[in-house]
Structure 1
Amino acid sequence: MMGIDGVLARISELNSQLRVVPATVGAATSAPRTGGTAFASALANATATDTATDTGTTRAGATGADVVAAAKKYLGTRYVFGSTDPAKGLDCSALVQRAYRDLGIELPRNSWQQAKAGTKVANLAAAQPGDILAFNSPVNHVAIYLGDNKMIAAPKPGDHVKIQSVYETPTHIRRVLGTEAATGATTAAARPAALRQTGGLAGVPYADLFLKAGAKYHVSPELLAAVAKVESSYNPKAVSPAGAQGLMQLMPATARGLGVRNSFDPAQAVDGAAKLLANHLKEFKSLPLALAAYNAGGGAVHKYGGIPPFAETQAYVPKVQKALAALGG
């Protein structure tokens, strides 16, 4: 078992690694150790930086340029959807999370959550290196701004982390560094509580289920709530004339294909719907087309090359988009 001398030596080593000014620790290690006063002082100094990190603040001196440098370390890493391990691959939000984490800042995992971190930047002209650029509504892609209309991102399957031009106007630009206590950044322990208060889901039935499934499948929980609103008015026992069932109005064959055993169970229904929407968003890369596919089937969207000319589907897509806007999505 390590004695006090060994512990103090380790603390000194940690201070050096964390770039904590060593003068205080030096005084502590040379002072009398009776009563544990020196040990407590040294321990307090050694853990000060980590405590700041755990509450969401940045390491001393961290800048947007540091975020850019951290992100560039992953250039060439292949894109793997859902992966947070650089050895295996990264997706877009994992790259952003990883770059900030390397500086001691813990951001949420998903792109739609990262699009709410920090504080709002008005437009690309006001953006600074290190800012988070988010794209589409609902958000399904993020990148880190480099300046000069360039960004670093993990773009898509079959690609890799690379520098590219900002090819379209971001729907959100967020600045984490330079905001008080890195507003919007949360620790892993605090994240579930923060998620429960995210966006416009306060008071929405089954909000926890939408948040959980949204995080699991990288789908906006507000979108899931909007679909449930239009499909069933949040009624888990609803049955349509066509035979669609439950909160998310899944057809029995569709439910079976998604692994949903009971469409009347809200948890299973929301999980299945989130999986289905994630697949449609990935396939069609368009919210209106993904919603059309949810309503009429992906085959119909392919057949007609867009939203099928069915009265129900033509009305359904704008209804969900309107409900989504009302939820702040």
Structure 2
Amino acid sequence: MTLGVSGVLSRISELQDQLGLNPAPAAATSGTKFASALADATRTGSALSGTVGPNGDDVVAAAKKYLGTPYVFGSTDPAKGLDCSALVQRAYQDLGVELPRTSGQQARAGRPVASMAEAKPGDILAFNSPVDHVAIYLGDNRMIAAPKPGDQVKIQNVYEKPVAIRRVLDTVPAAAVQDMSALRPAGLRSSGGLSGVPYAELFEAAGARHGVSPKLLAAVAKVESGYNPQAVSKAGAQGLMQLMPGTARGLGVDDAFDPAQAVNGAAKLLSKHLREFKSVPLALAAYNAGGGAVHKYDGIPPFSETQAYVPKVQKALAALGG
């Protein structure tokens, strides 16, 4: 069915909201307003068309970082071990691309590739029916996988015909991977002003994903935990970003001691506060004391901890050049 003018405008607005871009102009039936909205959307796409996104070789490089990691069923923490789908998920996540968690779900991600003859490095190979194993294709009939308990992440021959081959990267909208050169694995890029800062890649990836300054995330981590992913406060806040268990659950963080999950959750929370309060100091106050307290006092709450916390983070941010 052909969309009317208002329908097209609504779709433009919806896409821009989903991608975290400036909202499209309000829907209207005026031809002038429609042309303006369409032009805005076109300019957005043009501005992004020159950005360098990740490619299959980047996926392979990201996956190879985990070579030798023990296979641990159900684990998504490389420090403890990874299972097959966690390896695939982490490799893509390191490039700022989110994939579902399980092998069966990953076997439906992206778009299908017809055969091994058409497979390219970075494609996901899925095995068995129902799917219970996935790997990342390297080319030349080789793949990288976390094979089974007692084994480790390693490079193997593609030992049998996959039941599915999926290509993810060319299904990711350009706007969803803005400036992906800043998300490539260590060794393939500079760290965008966070050189030498622990977990710089995580701050950059989560910052790009949620529209938050990576330097702000790094400053928060510095003040919250001193970059210690195992830190626990007297109040029970956990991990690198010191998330309270209830807050972590609400942000979709299953393990606050996992740096990648913690940084992503903190970026999501800070993004929400920045949109709500439109002020970095107030967003930081909300991160420390809760948004309700900031609303109640119409500013930084008169709590000694929060009053000290905000300038500490701002000082750390300034030291990072933020």
TM-score tier (shorter): 0.3 to 0.5
TM-score by length of 1: 0.47
